[in-house]
Every structure is written in structure tokens, then in C-alpha cells.
């Protein structure tokens, strides 16, 4: 291996170590329990997971989608770059009486054979892999031809998209080639990533209702204290003596969102068609009441002004190559 290749390999290893440390900081499991639990079951239902299927959850975290997938009787592998999150997932799985496998894995370099899963899913997980094309290529590679890929991601227009724009100037410099996570919630971006290798059955935007916080400031504190990316931005800003900018920006973002947070929008579950590989889901959220997200599969509905997520489901084309 030449010096340039070795330097690139070392830099990537360092990057993944930073990402693992970031998601292990704070208390992401408590965030899931507080307001993110509805997302996993919605993705499982949208992708039509059934008993006997082999399912991979990429960037599974605490297993918010993997556990309900296993409850259907499917054989499930929950993979994540940050195994520190697995303890909370194992405890919840045991409490619900379901069994699944937990595997440390990088979404950009999955340790699984080609075409080894019937269904590949990710609920607000794979979107945080820095190199989007590499991650999308891996999702397609491990999904069998004719299988299903189902994703749920925050959208660029939602509160999470706004949060990343707000903390971006204070966060550590991204590595070369890295792209913002909320892009996964954009339909055009998904089509660019997957191209002709999949056929989208469903491409939807929807809203996640959040009622756990009395005030937008409570929601802001929740993120500042428990959310890895926010914690990393605050630490970097403190080193630059700019921490006040993160706090002021977050408060301003949530104040502006407050009137829309009071909206109540119910989740609309679409069941993807049985066909080729199913696609992607994305979402964005607003502090206080509603959080938008999106599910991708065919054509997305217009997002509401609340929190949005994009949900997509697609089938991998039987004739498509894996790379």
C-alpha cells in the first residue's frame, strides 16, 4: 500500500471513530424512548416485512425498526457503527420477547455477502453516513434482486434540516466528499443515489407528532444535552469560544418553528406495492408538537408545515448490477 492510500485509510478510520464517539455521547436511547418510537413500526409496516424474511437494519441504533421487524417473525440483523447503543436495544428486545442479531458494522462497508437479505431498512440511520453514495451502494449490494429497501429520513425542509444548518458553522469540519444528512429526505437526491438499480414503489412525506415537550425551549434542551451531533457542535464551538452562537441559533430556530409546532398531523401509512426493490424514507421534525418525516417509494405528497419525514420504499431490479 502506498503512502497516499495508507493516509486515506487512516483518515477514514479516524473519521469513523469520531462518528462512533459522537453517537455514543449524550443519551440517544432516551431520545428514542421519548419521541422517536413511532418511526420504527411505521417503516416495518410500510415495507411489508413478514415472518420468514431475512432483514437487515442499517444504522439501527437501539433497534427502533429492527425490534418490531423481529416481532413479525422475520430473521433480523441490527447493525450499527456504534455498538454502545446495543445494550439499550437488547434490553428492550428482551422486554418485548423478541430475538435478533446485533452486529457492529459501517454503513459504507457492510460486512455481509451480496444479495443476502430480502429486506434492507434504515430508520433515520443510514442518512448520517457521511458518504451517501457509498452507503446507498451498500444497501443495494446486500439486498437480493427483487428484494425491498425501505428508508425513513428527516427532510431538508424540516426542523432537523434547520438544526443541521444552524449548528453547521460550529461543527467540526466535514471530511472531503461528505454530504449533509437531511439530503436523504429529498426525492431527487434519492433518485441520484439509487438510479436505475431500484424501482420506487412509494415516495411519501409525512409528519411525526411530538407531544413530549411543553415548550420549544424544553425540546431545545433535550437536543443540547442528549443528541450527539449537537453535543459535538457545542464542544467544537466551546473550543472556538463560540458556544453562545450554537445556543442562540438553536433557540431562534425553535422560536420560529413554534407556531407550526402546534399543528397536529396524523401519520398516513402507505403499504408499498409488491414489485421490485423498495426505497427510502426521510423525515424532518419540529420542536413541540409535530415532526415531519418522509417515506420514499413513488411520488411524495407535499410536505405539511409541521415536522416532516420522507419515507421511501423501492424494489431492487432483478437485472440491476450491485455496484
Q: How far apart are CA 112 and CA 125, in angstroms?
A: 18
Better-scored residue on pLDDT, 21 or 172: 21
For a pLDDT cut of 70, what percent of the chain falls above it?
72
pLDDT score of 105 more than 90: yes
pLDDT score of 179 more than 60: yes
SS3 236: helix
10 phi and psi angles, rounded to 5 deg: -65, -40
pLDDT attached to residue 254: 55
pLDDT attached to residue 250: 58
pLDDT attached to residue 28: 93
pLDDT tens digit string along 134-173? 999 999 999 999 999 999 999 998 888 888 888 888 887 7
Looking at residues 42-49, what average pLDDT do you find?
96
What is the pTM (predicted TM-score) of this model? 0.79
Beta strand ranges found along 112-168 (DSSP E) = 117-123, 143-154
pLDDT attached to residue 323: 32
Output DSSP code: residue 106. B
pLDDT attached to residue 220: 84
| Region of poorest pLDDT, from 42-56, 182-196, 216-230, 302-316 | 302-316
Of these ranges, 27-31, 208-212, 229-233, 310-314, the one predicted with the greatest mean pLDDT is 27-31
Of these ranges, 207-216, 277-286, 299-308, the one predicted with the greatest mean pLDDT is 207-216
At 166, which helix (H) or strand (E)?
helix 159-167
| Region of poorest pLDDT, from 86-95, 147-156, 292-301, 310-319 | 292-301
| Domains annotated on the chain, with CATH | 13-316 (3.40.50.150)
pLDDT attached to residue 297: 34
Better-scored residue on pLDDT, 177 or 141: 141
pLDDT score of 8 more than 70: no
pLDDT attached to residue 209: 83
pLDDT attached to residue 214: 86
Q: How far apart are CA 45 and CA 68, in angstroms?
A: 9
Q: How far apart are CA 220 and CA 255, in angstroms?
A: 10
Q: How far apart are CA 129 and CA 181, in angstroms?
A: 7
Looking at residues 38-62, what average pLDDT do you find?
97
pLDDT tens digit string along 95-104? 999 999 999 9
Query: Rounded to a whole number, what is the distance in angstroms from the first to the last CA of the chain?
Result: 24
Amino acid at each position: 500500500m502506498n503512502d497516499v492510500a495508507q493516509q486515506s485509510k487512516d483518515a477514514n478510520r479516524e473519521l469513523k471513530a469520531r462518528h462512533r464517539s459522537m453517537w455514543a455521547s449524550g443519551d440517544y436511547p432516551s431520545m428514542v424512548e421519548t419521541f422517536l418510537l413511532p418511526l420504527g413500526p411505521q417503516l416495518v409496516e410500510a415495507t411489508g416485512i413478514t415472518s420468514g424474511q431475512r432483514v437487515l437494519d442499517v444504522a439501527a441504533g437501539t433497534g427502533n425498526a429492527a425490534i418490531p421487524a423481529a416481532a413479525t417473525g422475520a430473521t433480523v440483523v441490527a447493525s450499527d457503527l456504534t455498538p454502545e447503543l446495543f445494550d439499550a436495544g437488547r434490553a428492550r428486545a428482551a422486554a418485548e420477547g423478541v430475538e435478533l442479531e446485533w452486529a457492529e458494522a459501517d454503513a459504507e462497508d457492510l460486512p455481509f455477502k451480496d444479495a443476502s437479505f430480502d429486506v434492507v431498512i434504515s430508520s433515520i440511520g443510514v442518512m448520517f453516513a457521511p458518504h451517501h453514495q457509498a452507503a446507498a451502494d451498500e444497501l443495494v449490494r446486500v439486498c437480493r434482486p427483487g428484494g425491498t429497501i425501505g428508508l425513513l429520513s428527516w427532510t431538508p425542509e424540516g426542523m432537523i434540516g434547520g438544526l443541521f444548518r444552524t449548528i453547521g458553522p460550529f461543527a467540526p469540519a466535514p471530511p472531503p466528499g461528505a454530504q449533509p444528512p437531511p439530503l436523504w429526505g429529498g426525492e431527487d437526491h434519492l433518485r441520484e443515489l439509487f438510479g436505475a438499480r431500484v424501482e420506487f414503489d412509494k415516495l411519501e412525506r409525512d409528519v411525526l407528532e411530538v407531544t413530549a415537550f411543553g415548550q420549544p425551549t424544553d425540546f431545545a434542551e433535550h437536543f443540547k444535552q442528549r443528541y450527539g451531533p449537537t453535543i459535538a457542535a457545542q464542544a467544537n464551538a466551546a473550543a472556538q469560544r463560540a458556544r453562545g452562537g450554537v445556543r442562540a441559533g438553536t433557540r431562534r430556530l425553535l422560536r420560529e418553528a413554534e407556531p407550526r409546532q402546534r399543528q397536529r398531523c396524523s401519520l398516513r401509512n402507505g403499504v408499498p406495492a409488491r414489485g421490485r426493490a423498495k426505497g427510502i424514507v426521510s423525515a424532518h421534525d419540529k420542536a413541540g408538537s409535530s415532526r415531519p418525516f418522509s417515506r420514499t417509494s413513488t411520488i411524495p405528497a407535499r410536505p405539511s408545515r409541521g415536522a416532516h419525514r420522507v419515507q421511501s420504499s423501492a424494489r431492487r431490479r432483478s437485472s440491476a448490477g450491485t455496484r
